[in-house]
A and B are shown apart, each in its own frame.
Chain A
Amino acid sequence: GNSVTQMEGPVTLSEEAFLTINCTYTATGYPSLFWYVQYPGEGLQLLLKATKADDKGSNKGFEATYRKETTSFHLEKGSVQVSDSAVYFCALSGRSSGSARQLTFGSGTQLTVLP
């Protein structure tokens, strides 16, 4: 079956530091890959996505590249801000018929950015 493995947290960084959150996956076929962000007390929001190999998703300064050869989708940001403090989830959606576009989530990585 499908699975997503995320770098364990929590991660604490100083403002303007470089961020990497690792994500690797196991899936049959060619899944779509996602990063969701969850701010305290809120639901999940889509941060970025990539639907095929070598695609780069980007949003709000965050980037992730779909690497089929390493089955990875690592999240990066060059300079984090205090407002980026949140929990980040990597997820995949299988392409097999009947999957109803179900998402398989990683366990989440808590990021805290200190001023």
Chain B
Amino acid sequence: NAGVTQTPKFRILKIGQSMTLQCTQDMNHNYMYWYRQDPGMGLKLIYYSVGAGITDKGEVPNGYNVSRSTTEDFPLRLELAAPSQTSVYFCASSYGTQFFGPGTRLTVL
């Protein structure tokens, strides 16, 4: 039981590039979430999903997109990377208590 896994662990992007952050959970949780964590700050919710085929915006969705075609996977897409998206990104899944992945550290230069 791997829990919540995220890839990649680290990534450097140039302004305007795009990428997908991968998130997979093997706990059969319906609820999944994407957060970003900026230095010295708490986590801010980007998008969430209550089940396959259903997604909704969180507090800071601009510049991001998500999809949820299966229960297990919840990828986060950055279409036109900007320096303001430099952050650590955490995926989580939940049946009541949220379980977090190890994070992806993204730098946009």
Chain B residues with a Cβ closer than 8 Å to the other chain, count: 24
Asked if A19 is an interface residue, CB under 8 A from chain B, the answer is no
Residues of B within 8 A of A106 (CB): 42
Partner among B33, B40, B97 whose Cβ is within 8 Å of the Cβ of A102 = B33
Residue among B41, B44, B98, B101 with max Cβ neighbours from chain A (10 Å): B98
Pairwise interchain contact B101-A43, C-beta atoms closer than 8 A: yes
Q: What are some 6 contacts across the A-B interface (CB < 8 A)?
A: A36-B100, A91-B42, A100-B48, A101-B98, A103-B43, A105-B42
Q: Smallest distance from the beta carbon of B96 to chain A beta carbons, Å? A: 7
Pairwise interchain contact A102-B42, C-beta atoms closer than 8 A: no
Range, interface on chain A: 20 to 34
Asked if B102 is an interface residue, CB under 8 A from chain A, the answer is yes
Question: Contact flags (1/0) for A1-41 with B, using CB distance below 8 Å?
Answer: 00010100000000000000000000000000010100000
Given contacts A100-B50, A100-B56, A101-B31, contact A43 B90 (CB under 8 A): yes
Pairwise interchain contact A4-B97, C-beta atoms closer than 8 A: no
Given contacts A100-B48, A100-B50, A101-B31, contact A89 B96 (CB under 8 A): no
**A34 to B97 alpha-carbon distance, docked (Å):** 9
Pairwise interchain contact B41-A108, C-beta atoms closer than 8 A: yes
**A43 to B90 alpha-carbon distance, docked (Å):** 7
Pairwise interchain contact B41-A101, C-beta atoms closer than 8 A: no
Pairwise interchain contact A44-B100, C-beta atoms closer than 8 A: yes
Residues of B within 8 A of A100 (CB): 31, 48, 50, 56
Asked if B58 is an interface residue, CB under 8 A from chain A, the answer is yes
Pairwise interchain contact B98-A107, C-beta atoms closer than 8 A: no
**A97 to B7 alpha-carbon distance, docked (Å):** 32
Residue among A4, A103, A108 with max Cβ neighbours from chain B (10 Å): A103
